[in-house]
Amino acid sequence: MHEQFATAGPTTGAQESVELRRQLDAERRRYELVESAANDGLWHWDIARDRVHFSPRWKELLGYAEHEIDENINEWLDRVHPDDRERVLSALRAHLEGLTSHFENEHRVMHETGVYRWVVCRGIAGRDEHGKALEFGGSLTDVTHRKVAEEQLAHRAFYDPLTNLPNRALFLDRLRHALRRATRRKDFAFAVLFLDIDRFKVINDSLGHMAGDRLLVMVARRLEISLRPGDSVARLGGDEFTVLLDDIKDISDATTVAERIQKELSAPFDIGGQEIFTSSSIGIACSTTGYQRPEDVLRDADTAMYRAKAHGRARHALFDTAMHAHVLRQLQLEAELRRAVERGEMFVQYQPIVALGEGRVTGVEALARWRSTERGLVEPSEFIPVAEETGLIQPLGAGCSARRASRRCSGAASRAPARAR
């Protein structure tokens, strides 16, 4: 019995060794199969020996053959983009020191072609009973296509597709940052220029939309070269552009840029062999007014632009609080005028037309008048321009004609249309 145990011992040990080797070989083959089938690049860092195994797929993702990458952690770290390197190292140190449960980082790594690829690197450390990291393994995934798609979506969300200038959303965001700086720094000031191309509709309608689009692109390029370094230009839509002048000393800086823009845009544009001349009206709003919201700055610059346009175009105007009060009065007057037309508050007065040489009345002129139930008799010079600007002039005249007909006026007065004067 004793002999049986004595001879059985070594045989059993050898069988166990063979079985162990068989299991290890099977495990290695399974790992190699998974490694070769994985789309991600796999890596394993033996920290004690400071050697790293990079899988063939890992090397392939960066454009290298099997023998071209050494078993050194710097084969990865030295290829990380300089702007991302410190962030990657900080995340690695944090995980190795046990401050994070796992390692995951998105960064750029240089491909063999010299082009940077976006990758996501994930890993987890194996530790001893004291928590010291002994090994570190993980994967590398190429996410360049996703990053490019994200960047394209972000670009479309914040840039105008025609001119490639920032759009309203991005401009307001930059304006919001300027307002914050103005709040923190008493010596910081900025200005917003709101620009409109004079007679753009005439050009667009007469030459076609393609020519109009070409003109807008050319205007965008001229605006860019007219600005100082650090300033921003955006297209809000149509023929409206805005400029953010950052960190100006006083308002004269803004007027100087406005004059430079107007001079630049006054030069002829060559569109399809045809010489086009245009001009711009510019409104200026300065941060010294004390704004809290970016939308308010934009609104006031827009208001100033309309004042410049009203004074003859090809001009620039600086916003003041009286302009805003005037706009509010005009809006209120428009609302009252619409109600006046609906209520039938418009009436006709007749003004005789006299032949002075003959000393006799040859006809009468029917004039529109407004007797408001709230304000009394409103001067024509106050409401006629608003009616013309808002398109109320036709319903106003129709209302006067209806009232005149109801009174059954006769002769020249009944035949003459009511004039808004």
- Provide the token pair at 198: 């004079």
Residues in CB range of 221: below 8 A, 6 or more apart:
none
How far apart CA 230 and CA 193 sit, in angstroms, is 15
| Catalytically annotated residues | 239
* Other CB atoms within 10 Å distance of the CB of residue 268: 10
User: Which element (helix H / strand E) includes 372?
Assistant: strand 360-372
User: Which element (helix H / strand E) includes 12?
Assistant: helix 2-37
How far apart CA 342 and CA 398 sit, in angstroms, is 11
What Å distances lie between residue 292 and 169, 177, 304, CA to CA?
A: 17, 11, 19
How far apart CA 319 and CA 329 sit, in angstroms, is 16
Phi, psi of 90 (to 5 degrees): -65, -40
What Å distances lie between residue 357 and 313, 354, 360, 363, CA to CA?
A: 43, 9, 8, 15
At what angle are helices 209-226 and 251-266 packed, to 10 degrees?
140
Length of the chain: 421
Residues in CB range of 371: below 8 A, 6 or more apart:
345, 347, 377, 378
